[in-house]
Structure 1
Amino acid sequence: MSLSNAEVRDRLWKAIEEQNTGMLGVPGDGHHYQPMTGFVERDTNTIWFFTRRETDLAETIASTGGAEGSFIFQDRKLQACLDGRLTLEHDRERIDRYWNAHVAAWYPDGKGDPALTLLRLDVADAAVWITEGGLLKYAFEVVKANVGKSTPDVGERRDLNLN
Structure 2
Amino acid sequence: MTHHDNDHNTEALRKALFDALDDERTGMLAISDRASHAQPMTHYFDENARVLRFITASDTGLARDIGTGAQAHFTLTTRDREVYACMSGPIIVSEDRALLEDLWSPAAAMWFEGGIDDPKVALLEMPLHEAAVWTVDANALQFGIEMLRANLGDHTPDLGDHAVINLAA
In the TM superposition, residue 37 of structure 1 has moved relative to its aligned partner by 0.7
Q: Residue in 2 aligned with 1:52?
A: 57
- Please tell me whether residue 70 in structure 1 is matched to residue 70 in structure 2: no
Bigger relative contact order (CA 8 A; separation at least 6)? 2
Q: Distance in 2 between matches of 1:6 and 1:13?
A: 10
Query: Does the CA-based 8 Å contact 2:33-2:71 persist in structure 1?
Result: no
Query: Does the CA-based 8 Å contact 2:86-2:132 persist in structure 1?
Result: yes
Which of the pair is proportionally richer in helix? Answer: 1
Q: Residue in 1 aligned with 2:165?
A: 160
Q: Residue in 2 aligned with 1:92?
A: 97
Q: Distance in 1 between matches of 2:125 and 2:86?
A: 16
Q: Residue in 1 aligned with 2:28?
A: 23
Two-structure CA RMSD over aligned residues (Å): 2.4
Q: Percent identity?
A: 31
Q: Residue in 2 aligned with 1:43?
A: 48
Gaps of 5+ in 2: 1-6
Q: Could you tell me which of 112, 115, 123 is aligned with 2:120?
A: 115
Query: Does the CA-based 8 Å contact 1:22-1:35 persist in structure 2?
Result: yes
Query: Does the CA-based 8 Å contact 1:142-1:152 persist in structure 2?
Result: yes
Greater displacement, 99-108 / 39-48:
99-108
Give the TM-score of the pair, scaled to structure 1. Answer: 0.85
Query: Does the CA-based 8 Å contact 1:24-1:71 persist in structure 2?
Result: yes
Q: Distance in 2 between matches of 1:133 and 1:3?
A: 21
Q: Distance in 1 between matches of 2:158 and 2:134?
A: 12
SS of the residue 2:34 aligns to? coil
Equivalent residues, number: 159
Give the TM-score of the pair, scaled to structure 2. Answer: 0.83
Q: Distance in 2 between matches of 1:27 and 1:142?
A: 27
Gaps of 5+ in 1: none
Tell me the alpha carbon deviations over residues 90-131 of structure 1, each in whole angstroms, 9 at most, x when there is no partner: 221122111223222222321111110111001110000111
Q: Residue in 1 aligned with 2:131?
A: 126
SS of the residue 1:126 aligns to? strand
